């Protein structure tokens, strides 16, 4: 999840750790959560908490870490991720799951990496975080924003489009994704005939520019200004089935837009739709749960942390960080495969059995394949495709997968 532009980014120093770490844990694996959603976004906390509790329950049912129960540290809710991180360090966390908002990630990463605590976010998507200075302690089970570009282009191509216009909201999200879409369009044999930027509430000129280019389809990349941009595109005849929406622009607009403004439009949201079994398990943990956003990514982050600790036979954050690439089935720096025979596993129990058999576990979970790369990013991105009806409401209609590098 991205809200603001990133600062403090750097180059190779952000690479994930893969070197062997000397055991330094105290024997108890402690996992903390940073829940940073308040106000209109506070609904995002419950699914992450339920998923973490479910994962801990399953890990402990399988014997915990070295025969001792894994602890989920008491959680708080605050937008001050640095303060939460400091509290979790004081509580002796070995790994921390979170935060949700990319703009709050640096504060948490700085505190936790300095304390040699591994960090796995289930929701961060800002591109700059791939290069953030973390000493190799930062990972994320959510894909970067730009991973959606080839999927947006594929939807246009599936529509029969040969030319596309891009209309994007100002800011790092709009600029980064629009640039990636332009590149992906050319690679797919489509002609990007226009790229117009707009400020939220001021999309009329961008809509007119898109119409002037006479594209077959328009790809809208926006968040806060999405509804206004759709209205302006509809006014100039560039909405409905000609429109494809980025993940930040997908919403249930209903009567908030003109009649049939989105009829036939399509858009995407990151992730996979939770299986019935996974949903049932989450509801058993929290009977009041009504939303599953980031639940799969959170669950997988907790399982991966515990599997990494099991592979290292050590609960220290340095050991966990050093083993996350390997147990995810990922690639080390330079694109080299981590050594050792691997075996696929889809639960903590299966992965623990693989370790006891002398094999390297390759965990793929509820969010799909993970395979961390040398920056701690997932190498495959899953998306749910949504189609709009005449009522301007979206229903899930399919799924797509792309590599995190835009392939």
pLDDT tens-digit profile of 92-147? 999 999 999 999 999 999 999 999 999 999 999 999 999 999 999 999 999 999 99
Looking from the CA of 41 toward its CB, the CA atoms found within 13 Å total: 16
d(CA 181, CA 315): 41
- The residue-averaged pLDDT of 155-171 equals 98
Q: What is the pLDDT of residues 216-275, one digit of tens each?
A: 999 999 999 999 999 999 999 999 999 999 999 999 999 999 999 999 999 999 988 889
d(CA 280, CA 274): 10
Determine the Cα angle at 227 with ends 224 and 232, to 5°.
120
| Secondary structure (3-state) at 243 | strand
- Residue 370 confidence (pLDDT): 92
Q: Tell me, what DSSP letter sits at residue 137? A: -
Question: Pick the residue with more confidence: 151 or 337?
Answer: 151
What is the average pLDDT score of the chain? 92
d(CA 18, CA 308): 11
Asked whether residue 4 carries a pLDDT value surpassing 60, the answer given is no
Question: Residue 327: phi, psi to the nearest 5?
Answer: -75, -15
Q: Given 3-state DSSP classes, what are the helix, strand and coil percentages for the chain, each rounded to the nearest 5?
A: 40, 20, 40
Residue carrying the six token digits 């990319």:
102
Contact 232, 206 (CB under 8 A): yes
User: What is the pTM (predicted TM-score) of this model?
Assistant: 0.86
Contact 51, 8 (CB under 8 A): no
Question: Residue 195: phi, psi to the nearest 5?
Answer: -145, 105
Asked whether residue 15 carries a pLDDT value surpassing 80, the answer given is no
Minimum mean pLDDT range among 9-23, 40-54, 208-222: 9-23
| Secondary structure (3-state) at 95 | strand
Element (H, E) at 182: helix 172-187
Contact 203, 212 (CB under 8 A): no
Contact 371, 330 (CB under 8 A): yes
Burial of 12 (0-12, 13-18, 19+ CB in 10 A): exposed
Contact 174, 246 (CB under 8 A): no
- The residue-averaged pLDDT of 356-362 equals 94
Q: Tell me the residue ranges of DSSP E strands in 19-174.
A: 30-33, 71-72, 95-97, 118-121, 138-140, 163-169
| Secondary structure (3-state) at 390 | coil
Asked whether residue 407 carries a pLDDT value surpassing 50, the answer given is no
Minimum mean pLDDT range among 237-251, 324-338, 349-363, 392-406: 324-338
d(CA 40, CA 62): 37
| Secondary structure (3-state) at 247 | coil
Residue carrying the six token digits 């809710």:
77
Asked whether residue 334 carries a pLDDT value surpassing 90, the answer given is no
Minimum mean pLDDT range among 17-21, 27-31, 117-121: 17-21
CA nearest 210: which of 223, 225, 221, 201? 221
Kind of pairing, strands 266-270 and 380-388?
A: antiparallel
Q: How confident is the model at residue 16 (pLDDT cuts 50, 70, 90)?
A: low
Residue 278 tokens read as 């996974």
- Residue 332 confidence (pLDDT): 62
Cβ count within 10 A of residue 199: 14
Residue carrying the six token digits 């000397």:
22
Asked whether residue 25 carries a pLDDT value surpassing 90, the answer given is no
Asked whether residue 80 carries a pLDDT value surpassing 80, the answer given is yes
Cβ count within 10 A of residue 280: 10
């Amino acid at each position: 999840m991205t809200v603001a532009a990133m600062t403090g980014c750097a180059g190779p120093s952000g690479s994930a750790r893969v070197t062997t770490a000397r055991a330094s844990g105290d024997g108890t694996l402690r996992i903390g959560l940073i829940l940073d959603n308040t106000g209109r976004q506070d609904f995002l906390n419950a699914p992450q908490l339920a998923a973490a509790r479910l994962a801990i329950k399953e890990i402990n049912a399988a014997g915990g870490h070295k025969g001792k129960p894994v602890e989920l540290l008491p959680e708080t809710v605050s937008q001050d991720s640095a303060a939460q991180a400091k509290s979790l360090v004081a509580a002796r966390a070995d790994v921390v799951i979170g935060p949700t908002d990319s703009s709050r990630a640096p504060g948490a990463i700085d505190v936790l990496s300095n304390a040699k605590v591994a960090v796995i976010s289930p929701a961060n998507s800002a591109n700059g975080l791939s290069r953030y200075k973390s000493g190799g302690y930062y990972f994320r089970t959510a894909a970067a924003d730009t991973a959606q570009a080839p999927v947006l282009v594929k939807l246009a191509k599936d529509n029969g489009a040969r030319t596309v216009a891009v209309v994007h909201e100002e800011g790092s999200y709009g600029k980064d994704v629009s640039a990636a879409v332009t590149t992906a369009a050319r690679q797919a044999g489509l002609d990007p005939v226009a790229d117009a930027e707009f400020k939220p509430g001021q999309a009329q000129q961008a809509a007119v520019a898109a119409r002037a280019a006479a594209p077959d389809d328009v790809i809208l990349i926006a968040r806060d200004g999405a509804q206004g941009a759709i209205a302006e595109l509809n006014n100039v005849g560039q909405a409905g089935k000609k429109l494809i929406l980025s993940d930040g622009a997908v919403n249930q607009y209903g009567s908030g837009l003109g009649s049939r403004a989105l009829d036939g439009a399509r858009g995407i949201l990151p992730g996979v739709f939770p299986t019935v079994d996974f949903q049932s398990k989450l509801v058993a943990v929290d009977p009041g749960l009504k939303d599953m956003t980031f639940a799969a990514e959170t669950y997988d982050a907790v399982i991966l942390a515990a599997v990494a600790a099991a592979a290292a036979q050590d609960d220290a954050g340095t050991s966990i960080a050093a083993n996350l690439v390997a147990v995810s089935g990922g690639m080390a720096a330079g694109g080299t495969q981590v050594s050792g025979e691997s075996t696929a596993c889809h639960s903590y129990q299966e992965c623990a059995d693989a370790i006891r058999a002398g094999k390297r576990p390759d965990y793929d979970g509820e969010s799909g394949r993970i395979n961390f790369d040398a920056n701690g990013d997932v190498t495959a991105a899953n998306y749910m495709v949504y189609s709009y009806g005449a009522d301007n409401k979206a229903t899930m209609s399919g799924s797509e997968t792309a590599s995190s590098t835009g392939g």
